[in-house]
Amino acid sequence: MMPRLRTPRLLPITIFALAGLLAMKTVELAHVAAAAVAQGQSMVTIAQAATPAAPEHPPPASAPTQPVAVPATDDGAPPVSDGERTVLLELRQRRQELDSRETGLTARESLLAAAEQKLSGRVAELQALQKSLEALEATRQEREDTSWQRMVKLYETMKPRDAATIFNELDMPVLLQVLDRMKEAKAAPVLAAMQPDKARDVTAKIAKMRTSRDGPGNGVTGG
């Protein structure tokens, strides 16, 4: 009977291989880390060398920035843009138009004031003339009334029949003026003694004359 060969176990061999591989990777990583650390220190040293050293004393504070002055024109005023110049020209033209209109209105007001003053003077002259004419008319009327009153007084003192004889021959305008101024007590007997047609005609005309003069509703009244 042949002896039975023992089959080698694969698991211990595999573990041993993995352990060796792990050790090799660890050594390799250690070398890479050492190189990286050395390179980092050299970069820090280079950066420190490139950074300028801070001055011992801080620089003085800079003076405040002055505003930029706008160049002025010859008369000292700041320059004007085209839009502003256009607006200014329009305002100046509008001001000139208003001044011209105001001058025209002032001249027109002066003319109107002169015309009004002249018209007022003319009205005053006409009023004075009217008063003078009224005074003359009143004087004439007074003289005329005085003359008629004298004539009326003459006929009132006459006998009614004698006065009626004269009235029958008088013109109607004169007869109306005399009878209109006579008292009713004196005119009634004279009218009764006059011719009937003449008396009736003169009575109607006197009534119409007094109605037109004094207004409706006023009857024949004595003077």
C-alpha radius of gyration, the chain, whole number: 72
Burial class (CB in 10 A: 0-12, 13-18, 19+), 96: exposed
Whole-angstrom distance, CA of residue 89 vs CA of residue 177:
85
- Pull the structure tokens for residue 127: 């009023």
Both tokens of residue 205? 């005309």
Q: Where are the domains of the chain?
A: 84-140, 158-223
pLDDT in tens, the chain (223 residues): 444 444 455 566 667 667 777 777 776 776 766 665 565 555 445 445 444 455 455 555 554 555 444 455 555 666 778 888 888 888 989 999 999 888 999 999 899 999 999 999 999 999 999 999 999 999 998 998 898 999 899 999 999 999 999 999 999 999 999 999 999 999 999 999 999 999 999 999 999 988 887 765 444 444 4
- The answer to whether the pTM exceeds 0.75 is no
Residues 6+ away with beta carbon under 8 Å from 206: 176, 179, 180, 220
d(CA 118, CA 122): 6
Distance CA 81, CA 88 (A): 10
